[in-house]
Structure 1
């Protein structure tokens, strides 16, 4: 059996990205620790159920999005990420910024903020 705690931050982020692209809320939540925190302008979500809720909101804002990762800076157990996305609906995110904290093969905390704008 695969020891999830041995995953590097880069491996965790790769898994998270695949789950994000497929909008698989269970797979997204599985990359987070059981007591992980997701901090956004909409509030703080705690635990895997909170993670699912937070990402469900993101997918509602940007359904079937095409993600464009602009900057990925790993520093030990941290990742700083800048991105944009175009949803299949009427919105896009012009400027997204995330910070991840990794430990024991899982995401322990993530912040994200994006500016939602109508697609012209």
Structure 2
């Protein structure tokens, strides 16, 4: 897309989800995130693409080889919500919720929250984490 042409929040959100589910973090950052994006989680209050890379790395360590499921997604004006879960041999991520603010064709704010259950105890939560970020939940 040329300069001055902006995608709608829905288009940005759908492109983000598609690229993350493919595992293409760098292209997602380039196309869909503002350079000074704000990332808020229980573990971080950070800005920029490096914050999202760190979040994605944390998620891949917590959920190696994860299979992600999207339970719901909503877009209203510049705001988007993603509800998700994931299962890996190590942990199960439950009650994943990412929110986004999308302005001028870029994500300018993302919040991430999910709970983790150890694979050997899928019946009881052992910790709560706030880093998905999406790879990072697919997020």
- Normalising by structure 1, what TM-score? 0.87
Render the CA deviation track for 1:79-109: whole Å, top value 9, x for unaligned.
Answer: 122111113x311101101110000111001
Q: Cα–Cα, structure 1 residues 103 and 90, in superposed 2: closer, same or farther, change >3 Å?
A: same
Structure showing the higher strand proportion among its residues: 1
Is 1:84 equivalent to 2:69 in the alignment? no
**1: CA distance, partners of 2:52 / 2:44:** 12
Which structure has the larger Rg? Answer: 2
Structure 1: 5+ residue stretches without partners: none
Is 1:57 equivalent to 2:50 in the alignment? no
Aligned to 1:37: 38
- Normalising by structure 2, what TM-score? 0.76
Render the CA deviation track for 1:16-68: whole Å, top value 9, x for unaligned.
Answer: 11221232221232221010011111111211122211122122212232221
Q: Is the 8 A contact 1:45 1:54 kept in 2?
A: no
Structure 1 consecutive aligned stretches of length 4 or more whose deviation exceeds 4 Å: none
Aligned to 1:103: 103
**1: CA distance, partners of 2:8 / 2:87:** 29
- SS in structure 2 of the partner of residue 6 of structure 1: coil
**2: CA distance, partners of 1:63 / 1:20:** 15
- SS in structure 1 of the partner of residue 93 of structure 2: strand
**2: CA distance, partners of 1:32 / 1:25:** 11
Structure 2: 5+ residue stretches without partners: 121-139
